[in-house]
């Protein structure tokens, strides 16, 4: 299972909104540049979205391919890459099912995107595709948040501010709020995002599920799907993972045999 396709389409309905909403988030990019300098080219980014990471890496001369399932996100990526005259291959595909006739030295799975994979079958399908496309001396790098029980158990009747940005169609400032309920059986955090521009009738509501990957579970899934973890960082500046670290930044390679 996967975040429902209708929820994905609703959530990533317009790449311009995604980019404006996330324009201040750049702190992961130097992390990837350092990792790629260590581990080599070419690079494949799974769930590349609008190219928020892909494009700055390509601007550094990195040979990178971006793969994503959502057309409006890829459309925005293509427009931005064309404006900058960057030669990036964009592939519309499901990260559980893709075939690219090439192997990669680095495969990235950034910015909590693995949370869209809701069950073991989906993760295993994705990891099998990664193994197939990763060079024997290559690295698979995952960025997933470290679950915070205080967020999972928040009061679901309250609205928590997420950010704000100017509407790309000129309808004023959009403010984004969220709330959530946690399904502890399925380990899925059911999140609702509310986009408000001050005119109630234009409110957009996006519901989606983010699979919660506890640290030992993620490490174990990697282990039993043929990956050896080399590093697990908790921060983009490569400080080690700890119980209270915000991130699980895992650098792994293929285990010699399954």
The site for ligand SAM (CB under 6 A) is made up of 2, 8, 12, 47-49, 52-53, 68-70, 73, 94-96, 110-113, 116
Alpha-carbon span 182 to 21, nearest angstrom: 24
User: Closest distance between ligand SAM and the C-beta of residue 257, in Å?
Assistant: 27
**Measured from the CB atom, is 194 or 255 closer to ligand SAM?**
194
Tell the smallest beta-carbon distance from residue 95 to ligand SAM (Å): 4
The smaller minimum CB distance to ligand SAM, of residues 60 and 171, is found at 60
Minimum Å gap between C-beta 58 and ligand SAM is 14
Give the residue closest to ligand SAM by C-beta: 49
Nearer to ligand SAM, 26 or 37 (CB): 26
Q: How far is the CB of 200 from ligand SAM (least distance, A)?
A: 27
Cβ 108 vs Cβ 141: under 8 Å: yes
The DSSP secondary structure of 37-91, one letter per residue, reads HHH-S-EEEET-TTTTTHHHHHHTT--EEEEES-HHHHHHHHHHHHHTT---EEE
Q: Which helix (H) or strand (E) element contains residue 104?
A: strand 104-109
Instruction: Identify the bridge partners of residue 183 per DSSP, sorted by sequence position.
Output: 188
Nearer residue to ligand SAM within complex by CB, 143 or 219: 143
Q: Which is nearer to ligand SAM, 99 or 202 (CB)?
A: 99
Nearer to ligand SAM, 2 or 133 (CB): 2
How far is residue 103 from each of residues 59, 138, 189, measured CA to CA in Å?
A: 21, 9, 34
Cβ at position 159, least distance to ligand SAM in Å:
21
Scored b (16 or more CB within 10 A) or e, 48-73 reads bbbbbbbbbbbeeebbbbbbbbbebb
- Whole-number minimum distance, CB 92 to ligand SAM, in Å? 9
């Amino acid at each position: 299972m996967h975040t429902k396709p209708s929820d994905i389409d609703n959530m990533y309905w317009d790449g311009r909104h995604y980019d404006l909403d996330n324009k201040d988030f750049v702190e992961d990019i130097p992390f990837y540049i350092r990792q790629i300098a260590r581990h080599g080219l070419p690079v494949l980014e799974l769930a590349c979205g609008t190219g928020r990471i892909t494009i700055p890496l390509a601007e550094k001369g990195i040979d990178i391919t971006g793969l994503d399932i959502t057309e409006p996100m890829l459309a925005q990526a293509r427009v931005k890459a064309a404006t900058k005259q960057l030669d990036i291959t964009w592939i519309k595909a499901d990260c559980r099912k893709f075939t690219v006739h090439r192997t990669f030295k680095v495969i990235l799975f950034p910015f909590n995107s693995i949370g869209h994979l809701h069950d073991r079958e989906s993760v295993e399908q994705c990891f099998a595709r990664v193994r197939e496309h990763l060079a024997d001396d290559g690295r698979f790098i995952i960025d997933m948040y470290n679950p915070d029980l205080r967020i999972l158990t928040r009061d679901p009747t309250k609205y928590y501010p997420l950010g704000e940005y100017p509407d790309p169609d000129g309808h004023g400032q959009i403010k984004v709020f969220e709330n959530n309920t946690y399904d502890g059986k399925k380990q899925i955090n059911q999140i609702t995002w509310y986009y408000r521009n001050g005119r109630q009738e234009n409110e957009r509501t996006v519901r989606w599920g983010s699979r919660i990957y506890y640290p030992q579970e993620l490490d174990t899934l990697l282990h039993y799907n043929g990956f050896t973890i080399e590093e697990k960082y908790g921060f983009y500046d490569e400080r080690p993972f700890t119980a209270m670290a915000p991130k699980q930044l895992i650098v792994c390679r293929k285990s010699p045999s399954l």
